[in-house]
Structure 1
């Protein structure tokens, strides 16, 4: 199977690091024009330089904006007015106990993890439906199906993404626009990796030992037995954005290493 996204324009929120950067890189390698998004000009420039290392001929641009805010979404939408592909990959986790989470923390997580995708989809969906082709992908998590006690706020936002994604897929039915969610499992991304590296330094363990300890304690059902790479998650997203995935819509696609013990 050869995925060719030449002539398609992709907007990837939160694409200066981690899973988002891997997705932007994969889409660029498949020939798509990619709009990179991050909170600062420096991070956007660095991400574009990284993508060019493996996709030197890619058409790339960047918009520095915080899409966890109304103003940030408006800036991205103004500077990248149209898109054939939208990947809502921006997200964060606070790693706070339930008792320590403030009202502000809950609202911050909801604005960034959920409302960013709602607002961006609201902007780009009408054009996709008018052109009779489009791909919208929400990067959710296996935590949407297995809400973790150590990140209840995160699990809540990821479950909300599934509801939003399915509802929009229903709205876009028979239009040529597909809407799906992708659910990664434990992944060695920048944000989670920083947390694990901090634990490794504090305990004198290797990062590999910390990862194994996390899996054994928090995700013992993992069939993979290791963390996924960001590229492994991106591979699924690139496929979902392709013409070959035209019959896949309204679904939640797990790339969780078998963490979720379910056959459907």
Structure 2
């Protein structure tokens, strides 16, 4: 897994990029990363796993794996990097959740649970930043055409006679009918929102769950 952080020397923002390959769900690997990159100004917790699963087929080991990767990894990084952000009075922590956090589809309960936890964790951490220029927020994408979702589509339609260029439309109609845009969101669209939330311009909100779901969640709140 490759993680890239925006690093800066305040007051200049974004002075250089630094990267480090690791798996933060492994405490030992995370410790090595902390030695290599002791501080960051922007932390985007984008690591996650998902997959459709029937509830009665999910064993305890699977529940624990999803919790470890989707929740504890981001918490481990936030716990390490937040104190330095507070000390310098600037920082951004962004959790990438999902519309599944507030509107579970029932297709993957083990995933939905962890995304709801992301919202709760981000809100709790934001309480530690009161009065500072450090913010903690969550971005909730709708169904997005990531590599994982593309693989899911490949598996779903492997035995279908439907042409590949119609898979996305068929998926949205039959599995995400509430979407207003009726297409899969592209990763760069979520990336642009995350860049704004990470910037000094996004200074007026913290502890927020910011939806970018294509209108999939059918409520105004």
TM-based fold match above 0.5 = yes
Question: Are 1:32 and 2:14 an aligned pair?
Answer: yes
Q: In structure 1, what is the Cα distance between the partners aligned to 2:172 and 2:214?
A: 11
Q: Does the 8 A contact of 2:2 with 2:20 survive in 1?
A: no
5+ residue gaps, structure 2: 8-12
Q: In structure 1, what is the Cα distance between the partners aligned to 2:217 and 2:165?
A: 22
Q: In structure 2, what is the Cα distance between the partners aligned to 1:94 and 1:263?
A: 28
Q: In structure 2, what is the Cα distance between the partners aligned to 1:177 and 1:149?
A: 35
Higher helix share: 1
Question: Are 1:97 and 2:54 an aligned pair?
Answer: yes
TM-score by length of 1: 0.77
Q: Does the 8 A contact of 2:2 with 2:21 survive in 1?
A: no
Question: Are 1:80 and 2:66 an aligned pair?
Answer: no
Give the aligned partner of residue 10 of structure 2: none
TM-score by length of 2: 0.91
Per-residue CA shift, 1:2-47, capped at 9, x if unaligned?
xxxxxxxxxxxx557xxxxxxx59x69xx836xxxxxxxxxxxxxx
Q: Does the 8 A contact of 1:15 with 1:90 survive in 2?
A: no
Give the aligned partner of residue 178 of structure 1: 135
| Equivalenced residues, count | 216
Question: Structure 1 79/262 Cα, relative in aligned 2: closer, same or farther at 3 Å?
Answer: same
SS at match of 2:75: helix
5+ residue gaps, structure 1: 1-13, 17-23, 34-58
Q: In structure 2, what is the Cα distance between the partners aligned to 1:63 and 1:149?
A: 35
Q: Does the 8 A contact of 2:50 with 2:111 survive in 1?
A: yes
- Per-residue deviation, 1:131: 0.1
1:1-264 correspondence runs (5 A): 15=2, 32=14, 59-264=16-221
Q: Does the 8 A contact of 1:182 with 1:255 survive in 2?
A: yes
Deviating above 3 A after TM superposition, structure 1's stretches of 4 or more consecutive aligned residues are none
Q: In structure 2, what is the Cα distance between the partners aligned to 1:207 and 1:84?
A: 42
- Per-residue deviation, 1:67: 1.4
Q: In structure 1, what is the Cα distance between the partners aligned to 2:107 and 2:138?
A: 23
Over the aligned positions, Cα root-mean-square deviation in angstroms equals 1.9
SS at match of 1:220: coil
